[in-house]
Amino acid sequence: MIGRKTFPRGGVHPYERKSLSEHKRIWNAAVPSECIVPLQQHIGKPAEAQVGPGDEVREGRLIGKASGFVSASVHSPIPGVVRELREVYLANGLATTAVVIDLQGEFDRLGKQQMAAEWRDRDVKSLLTSIRKNGVVGMGGATFPTHVKYTLPQGKTCDWMILNGVECEPYLTADHRLMLEMTDQVIEGLEIAARILDVEHVAIGIEENKPDVIEEIRSRVKERRLDFRVVILETKYPQGGEKQLIKAITDREVPSGGLPIDVGCMVSNAGTLNAVYEAVVFDKPLMERVVSVTGGAVREPGNLKARIGTTFGELIEECGGLAEIPQKVVAGGPMTGFAVYDLDMPLIKGTSGILALTAREVNEAPRTPCINCGRCIAACPMGLQPTALFKYIDHEEYEPARALGLSDCIECGACSYVCPAHIPLVQGMRIGKRIARKKG
């Protein structure tokens, strides 16, 4: 057991609001009568449709096949008949084709006993195949295909596998509940990842604001006689950023433009490791996830296990509906999530939260000129100068922005959070990074 740790630079302490849902047990959302299942729910190439209108599908059938090295397969969350393939917009503004399925017929898995398969005598290749075949991606929002992430590039080795149990975004409690209620599954998912990567050290990083999780994980790790370190982390945003977490736990610094694997580390969150466990032990495709549906405008905030393709509106209804008209609905957390304007948008693999926020919670104010207070610089965990970067981006001067480290921005939103002038700094960084990338 190592003491309370954190990252050294910047960081903020946003109002948490986790109490709205952190003590609510996960419950199963009603199965929707239709599922809207996008073929692009991950970073990389979209999956290729394997079905067309009129096709019958079983629960868990492959409906979109991974179409390149960085891609992930997509499966039917319900049994039914494909009504159509149509274009939908995701919360991040991306347009993609979705398979729309009308519920019909028998479930193959739901309500049925599943047989656990032994994995310890299987080789690494076959474990990776199970993860790839079942469409597992990073479920904290990054959505990078997990089988690609766990396949080490030539010449690289990994000696640390880290469970990111931080969930530092305000409001979100899905991983908190998962670690508390499905502790063994998450830990076994971590064992599988550690075995694939053949690591020397395994660590579980948890913020100190989750004492119940710390206790439960410690006790299960001890009972299972695992040599896993439970690391208590200071409650500070963005403690769950991969680079910040690695620094806090291993004291290694991921280089500018680099990846965790460049310093021998791999990080996955609880939702992803639970999906890894289910893919390997039950050969179960990633077709449902736990999502926090919360915010002051939701009547009964909570954590739901819901089928991919269920609409945001249905999930909010499941939580008693709206108590008032929200000022803003956000997919993901309030710091890094995306505002959405259509409650018919479907839940996807990377949706960790659906927040319906009141005007008081959003606390919007008009933008005023920068007063050069330097708060954004003090808050930035990457040691950047958000104010200068924003000015360059505002003037479409991408080269100097790049020279000042724009690509190192992790889009955490800490700068926007502290800015007294309400300058949309993180939105500027996002757009600036996208354009700078396009310009090569």
Which CB atom, from 11 or from 135, has the smaller least distance to ligand SF4?
11
Q: Does 253 bind ligand SF4 (CB under 6 A)?
A: no
Residue 143 carries which side chain, given as an amino acid letter? T
Among 8, 53, 255, 420, binds ligand SF4 (CB under 6 A): 420
Q: Does 332 bind ligand SF4 (CB under 6 A)?
A: no
Q: Considering the complex, what minimum distance in angstroms separates the CB of residue 16 from ligand SF4? A: 18
Q: Does 189 bind ligand SF4 (CB under 6 A)?
A: no
Q: Could you list the beta-strand ranges (E) of 166-211.
A: 201-207
CA separation for the pair 329, 91 (Å, rounded): 10
Which CB atom, from 80 or from 432, has the smaller least distance to ligand SF4?
432
Per-residue x/- marks for ligand SF4, 390-409, CB under 6 A?
-------------------x
Q: Does 320 bind ligand SF4 (CB under 6 A)?
A: no
Q: CB count, 10 Å around CB of 216? A: 16
Which CB atom, from 359 or from 421, has the smaller least distance to ligand SF4?
421
DSSP run (H or E) holding 26: none
- Using an 8 Å Cβ cutoff, are 229 and 148 in contact? no
Q: Which of the residues 340 through 399 are near ligand SF4 (CB under 6 A)?
A: 370-376, 379-382, 384, 386-387
**Positive or negative: CA dihedral 174, 179, 184, 190:** positive
Select the span of 75-83, 102-110, 122-130, 412-420 touching ligand SF4 (CB under 6 A): 412-420
Strand order, beta sheet including 80-89: 34-38, 95-103, 80-89, 56-57
Q: Does 124 bind ligand SF4 (CB under 6 A)?
A: no
Q: Does 8 bind ligand SF4 (CB under 6 A)?
A: no
Among 421, 424, 427, 436, binds ligand SF4 (CB under 6 A): 421
Q: Does 286 bind ligand SF4 (CB under 6 A)?
A: no
How many Å from the N-terminal Cα to the C-terminal Cα in the chain?
45
180-205 CB burial, b ≥16 within 10 A, e <16: bebbebbbbbbbbbbbbbebebbbbb
Q: Considering the complex, what minimum distance in angstroms separates the CB of residue 230 from ligand SF4? A: 27
166, 173, 118, 158: which is closest to 333 by C-alpha? Answer: 173
Which CB atom, from 148 or from 419, has the smaller least distance to ligand SF4?
419
The token duo for 20 is: 């709205």
Among 331, 425, 432, 433, binds ligand SF4 (CB under 6 A): 425
- DSSP-derived letter for residue 216 is H
Which CB atom, from 62 or from 426, has the smaller least distance to ligand SF4?
426
Q: Does 272 bind ligand SF4 (CB under 6 A)?
A: no
CA separation for the pair 287, 136 (Å, rounded): 9
The size of the interface with ligand SF4 (CB under 6 A), counted in residues, is 29
Q: Considering the complex, what minimum distance in angstroms separates the CB of residue 337 from ligand SF4? A: 13
Q: Are strands 288-294 and 328-331 parallel, antiparallel or unpaired?
A: unpaired
Alpha-helix residue ranges (DSSP H) falling in 302-419:
312-318, 359-362, 375-379, 386-394, 398-403, 414-418
Which CB atom, from 132 or from 236, has the smaller least distance to ligand SF4?
236
Q: Does 214 bind ligand SF4 (CB under 6 A)?
A: no
Which CB atom, from 77 or from 170, has the smaller least distance to ligand SF4?
170
Select the span of 35-43, 69-77, 188-196, 420-428 touching ligand SF4 (CB under 6 A): 420-428
Q: Considering the complex, what minimum distance in angstroms separates the CB of residue 75 from ligand SF4? A: 34
Which CB atom, from 234 or from 411, has the smaller least distance to ligand SF4?
411
- Using an 8 Å Cβ cutoff, are 203 and 249 in contact? yes
Q: CB count, 10 Å around CB of 104? A: 12
CA separation for the pair 146, 72 (Å, rounded): 9
Q: Does 297 bind ligand SF4 (CB under 6 A)?
A: no
Binding positions for ligand SF4, rule: CB under 6 A: 370-376, 379-382, 384, 386-387, 409-415, 418-421, 423, 425-426, 429
